Amino acid sequence: MTMSATINSVPTTDTQRINTELERADATAVVAWAARRFERGLVMTSSFGAQAAVMLHLATRVVPRIAVVMIDTGYLFAETYRFVELLTDRLGLNLKVYQPRMSAARREAVCGRQWEQGEDGLRSYEETAKLEPMRRALRELGSTAWLAGLRRQQTNFRANLRKVDVQDGTYKILPILDWSIGDVNDYLARYDLPIHPLCERGYTSIGDVHSTRPVNVDEHERAGRFGGLKQECGLHLPKTPEEAESRDSSFL
């Protein structure tokens, strides 16, 4: 299939073949494959969380000027904003910051503190603060594929992902999907990369200030997110029932 093909029409057999070919490829080789196949249509996303430096360093070694999309909800920790500046300067990132159309202050005034309004409120918040800016970023950057740093060990949902799939009409490529936390820490040490400063205070997964807390030593690394209601923010979930069915059927 050529790059001019419509991404929405990608057959399941195509992603199956790609995943078979890349099954034993290391993370750098997966990024290199994506760069060759998608060229300027390839972007990456980063939440600038705990070990974000790993994917940012790995990807920019292969594609130095790749667009790095960051969704700024307006509620990130001060430490996160400073971490963004640190990594942008150190790695020479081509950073593209996208924000919600409604400011944080205006949203609270109009909608209240949605993250405190149960699952429905949290879903509404994620739609306006995260999902809409992400869709806009992919559209405006002309993205046909995006790299993300998800790992199978992080959540039950992620345990069933593949290295290459199609989400909401765009290829999503996960080069470090099969890495353990040990692999991540080894990479950080090998290249002397910084971790998020909040890690020293017990944070293992870092998002919005209102929906993130430190975790205990016996808790899952994402237990401190979303008040325990869920582990995924929605950016990586299937957007339609058809997409979920297609993805799930390909795992059989």
Q: For residue range 15-51, what is the model confidence (pLDDT) as tens digits?
A: 899 999 998 999 999 999 999 999 999 999 999 999 9
User: Could you tell me if residue 113 is inside a domain?
Assistant: yes
In SS3 terms, the chain reads as CCCCCCHHHCCHHHHHHHHHHHCCCCHHHHHHHHHHHHHHHEEEECCCCCCCHHHHHHHHHHCCCCEEEEECCCCECHHHHHHHHHHHHHHCCEEEEECCCCCHHHHHHHHCCHHHCHHHHHHHHHHHHHHHHHHHHHHHCCCCEEECCCCCCCCCCHHHCCCEEEECCEEEECCCCCCCHHHHHHHHHHCCCCCCHHHHHCCCCCCEHHHECCCCCCCCCCCCEHHHCCCCCCCCCCCCHHHHHHHHHCCC
Asked whether residue 235 carries a pLDDT value surpassing 90, the answer given is no
Q: Which residue has the higher pLDDT, 13 or 68?
A: 68
Which band of pLDDT confidence, cut at 50, 70 and 90, is reported for residue 155? confident
231 vs 149, residue with greater confidence: 149
**This model's pTM is above 0.85:** no
Across the range 152-176, mean pLDDT stands at 89
Asked, for residue 155, whether it belongs to a domain, the answer is yes
Q: Domain tally for the chain? A: 1
Residue 251 lies in a domain: no
State which residues form the domain around 138.
7-246
**Which position among 52, 166, 233, 235 bears the catalytic label?**
233
Confidence of residue 216 (pLDDT cuts 50, 70, 90): low
Read off the pLDDT of each residue in 91-95 and give the average, rounded to a whole number.
98
In a domain, 1, yes or no: no
Domain membership of residue 252 (yes or no) is no
Residue 94: what pLDDT? 98
In a domain, 73, yes or no: yes
Average pLDDT (228-252) is 41
* pLDDT score at 11: 47
Over residues 169-181, mean pLDDT? 94
pLDDT value at residue 62: 97
- Averaged pLDDT for residues 178-190: 95
Mean predicted lDDT score pLDDT of the chain: 84
Asked whether 177 and 25 are in contact (CB, 8 A), the reply is no
What pLDDT, on the 0 to 100 scale, is given for residue 223? 61
Across 89-93, 118-122, 150-154, 234-238, the highest mean pLDDT is recorded for 89-93
Overall average pLDDT of the 133-162 stretch: 91
- Domain of 111, CATH number, reads 3.40.50.620
Find out whether 56 and 22 touch, Cβ atoms under 8 Å: no
Predicted local distance difference test score (pLDDT) of residue 244: 39
**Average pLDDT of the residues in 208-212:** 91
pLDDT (average), residues 40-66:
96
Place 79 in a pLDDT band, splitting at 50, 70 and 90: very high
As a whole number, mean pLDDT of residues 182-187 equals 96
pLDDT computed for residue 48 by the predictor: 96
What is the mean pLDDT of the segment spanning 59-82?
A: 97
Is 199 one of the catalytic residues? no
